[in-house]
Amino acid sequence: MTAFTTRPEILGTFGVVASTHWIASAVGMSILERGGNAFDAAVATGFVLQVVEPHLCGPGGDLPALIYSKRNDKIEVICAQGPAPAGATIDHYRTEGLSLIPGDGLLATVIPGAFDGWMLLLRDYGTMSVRDVLEPAIHYCEQGHPALPRVANTIGGLADFFREEWPTSFETWLPGSVAPQPYGNLRNPTLGETWRRIVAEAESVSGRERQIEKARDAFYRGFVSEAIDRYVTNTAVKDASGQRHKGVLTATDMANWSATVEKPSVVDYHGWTVAKTGPWGQGPVLLQSLAILEGMDIGSMDPCGDEFVHVVTEAMKLAFADREVYYGDPNFGEIPIELLLSPAYASERRKLIGGNASYDLRPGKLSGFEDQVDRTMRLLDASSATGAVYEPTMAHLSEKRGDTVHIDVIDRHGNMISVTPSGGWLQSSPTIPGLGFCLNSRAQMFWLEPGLPTSLAPGKRPRTTLTPSLAFHEDGTRLAFGTPGGDQQDQWQLSFFLRRVHHVSNLQAAIDAPLFHTSHFPSSFHPRSREPGSLMAEENFDPRVLEALRARGHRLTVAEPWSVGRLTAAGRDADGLLRAAATPRLMQAYAVGR
């Protein structure tokens, strides 16, 4: 593979930060320069991304993080994915006349988890104060930041809807009834005041950890949760169902929840140990794909050739089919993740990959789960028969659909974090009065059919698509990487990781290589449509490769060049050299370091 790069791979020994927005990356690096560690930097970066990419994440959203603390010397998962509220029952949603949970509005909301996740990370792994990590975000709320064209266009396109249906959002995003212009100076003073009030409440007590706990109380048991409860309980808003609904989230739900620390799911691949979230997220899909591909000679394939694209795509189809049938919150039932990740199971699945594209959704049938497989497949078939007509789309390019952000940080001590915050998009839910932010729409990932791993139930985590990654090689080399992109996240990460492992050591070159993904399996987002046999590939591929993929039977959609994926990555070599890279696609992500 030719090591073409659009930018230099960032190299240094002090610290590196990569994120999906240049301002956020600069803020993270400033925290490292002030003596903060990787976790402090990630928290400050995350809060700034809520301000500068409000169409992709917000304070009402959620996050999973993969972390490696030098002190603890192990990989851990921070789960800040909030669960469904106590009132989120299938019966209630059916009574509201719904067969699918809408992709927006108040009924789509689960408990917002991001703030507690950031505070847990800061308290237990960081070194700085609440003020230290919130001050950069407060600055950009109050002084403004250049409105990304997609932010400006999203707000402009929703102006009439906001005015008529979500007036609190109209007030927030179109002050004086004027939509922001691309690269105009965009402010959110109300959100800035929310953060100032949280800092003030935190500083009403002494001691760093006590201040962090006070901030958590302000959000989950204080003025923030009270404002959310008041609005959600008393307001019916129009959503994707075409009807108006009140939500079910309450202050009690928020008060009784907190983020947790868990063990990761892992597989070994060619000397690497790759770590992902548990099966409440889609992360094990990447691990299953690697287990299947372990028995194939990926290293001999052209990483930009049709054989590589075909084999990787077919492996992903098998892994994602299992996601649909087996993944879910393990606190609510048996999830056979160890079996799904086992070499023996992967060997059987590998045999299903042929020379042509498959059009069938083919989950494995595990002993004891036959009825679950059958019921899930009947649900998916019925949903496909009544769902929306498929139109090739890319969530990361849509101006009205939400997406996600990503952060990778490594400090000079060897601490590492890969974190993928999302949810609370400005276009997903109306702004909560007095707070300056909106709630998430993660509940749309539940089914309103009982008895499945992803059936709606109070206290259950939705099967999120958020999926950061850490990978450690036996020689001491380490990687942190991830991307926004919904169901495509693990697809783009897989091709990046395979190219890095087998073909090129330069992180920027691995990110710059042409990308591809499939929508063969049901989408995690409303209206849950799928496109059997589909393959989307960037025009950056050689035309002969694209033609060969068509010849293999893939239903190919060719995307604009440099338009797919928003990967970032950071690495640490065995000798302590640090690396970082970020995609040039969409002209937003940036890696910095020294």
Q: SS3 letters for 24-77?
A: HHHHHHHHHHCCCCHHHHHHHHHHHHHHHCCCCCCCECEEEEEEEECCCCEEEE
Please answer whether residues 197 and 434 qualify as being in contact, where contact means their C-beta atoms are separated by less than 8 angstroms. no
Backbone angles phi, psi at 473, to 5 degrees: -95, 150
Calpha distance 76→45 (Å, rounded): 20
Calpha distance 428→102 (Å, rounded): 10
Query: Which pLDDT value is given to residue 523?
Result: 83
Read off the amino acid at residue 204. Answer: S
Please answer whether residues 60 and 429 qualify as being in contact, where contact means their C-beta atoms are separated by less than 8 angstroms. yes
Query: Which pLDDT value is given to residue 392?
Result: 35
Query: Which pLDDT value is given to residue 384?
Result: 67
Q: Which residue do the tokens 């249906």 mark?
A: 165
The model carries a pTM of 0.96
Q: Which residue do the tokens 């030719």 mark?
A: 2
CA distances from 585 to 123, 386, 540 (A): 34, 35, 12
Please answer whether residues 211 and 203 qualify as being in contact, where contact means their C-beta atoms are separated by less than 8 angstroms. yes
CA distances from 491 to 317, 319, 553 (A): 10, 11, 19
CA angle 229, 233, 239 (to 5 degrees): 110
Query: Which pLDDT value is given to residue 383?
Result: 72
Q: Which residue do the tokens 């960081």 mark?
A: 126
Read off the amino acid at residue 348. Answer: E
Could you please report the per-residue DSSP string of 292-333? HHTTS-GGGS-TTSHHHHHHHHHHHHHHHHHHHHH-S-GGGS
> Two tokens at 243?
């009807």
Query: Which pLDDT value is given to residue 522?
Result: 87
Query: Which pLDDT value is given to residue 366?
Result: 96
Could you please report the per-residue DSSP string of 436-449? S-BB--GGGGSBSS
Q: Which of 4, 79, 126 is nearest to 419 (CA)?
A: 79
Query: Which pLDDT value is given to residue 527?
Result: 76
Instruction: Print burial letters for 155-193: b (CB count within 10 Å at least 16), e (below 16).
Output: bbebbeebeebbebbbbbbbeeeebbeeeeebbbbbbbb
CA angle 107, 112, 118 (to 5 degrees): 165
Instruction: Print burial letters for 110-127: b (CB count within 10 Å at least 16), e (below 16).
Output: bbbbbbbbbbbbbbbbbe
Calpha distance 466→283 (Å, rounded): 8
Q: Tell me whether residue 548 is exposed, middle or buried, using C-beta atoms within 10 angstroms of its C-beta: 0 to 12, 13 to 18, 19 or more.
A: middle
Query: Which pLDDT value is given to residue 387?
Result: 44
Instruction: Print burial letters for 367-384: b (CB count within 10 Å at least 16), e (below 16).
Output: eebeebbeebeebbeebb
Q: Which of 485, 525, 402, 391 is nearest to 154 (CA)?
A: 402
Calpha distance 430→433 (Å, rounded): 9
Give the helix ranges, DSSP H, for 126-207: 130-143, 149-157, 159-164, 167-173, 189-202
> Two tokens at 45?
């970066």
Instruction: State whether residue 271 is helix, strand or coil.
Output: coil
594 residues of the chain, pLDDT tens digit each? 667 899 999 999 999 999 999 999 999 999 999 999 999 999 999 999 999 999 999 999 999 999 999 999 999 999 999 999 999 999 999 999 999 999 999 999 999 999 999 999 999 999 999 999 999 999 999 999 999 999 999 999 999 999 999 999 999 999 999 999 999 999 999 999 999 999 999 999 999 999 999 999 999 999 999 999 999 999 999 999 999 999 999 999 999 999 999 999 999 999 999 999 999 999 999 999 999 999 999 999 999 999 999 999 999 999 999 999 999 999 999 999 999 999 999 999 999 999 999 999 999 999 999 999 999 999 888 876 544 433 333 333 334 456 899 999 999 999 999 999 999 999 999 999 999 999 999 999 999 999 999 999 999 999 999 999 999 999 999 999 999 988 999 999 999 999 999 999 999 999 999 999 999 988 888 777 889 999 999 999 999 999 999 999 999 999 999 999 899 999 999 999 999 999 999 899 999 999
Q: Which of 101, 391, 421, 83 is nearest to 260 (CA)?
A: 83
Q: Which of 509, 473, 553 is nearest to 309 (CA)?
A: 553
Read off the amino acid at residue 90. Answer: I
> Two tokens at 546?
């694209």
Q: Which residue do the tokens 């789509």 mark?
A: 108
> Two tokens at 121?
């990370």
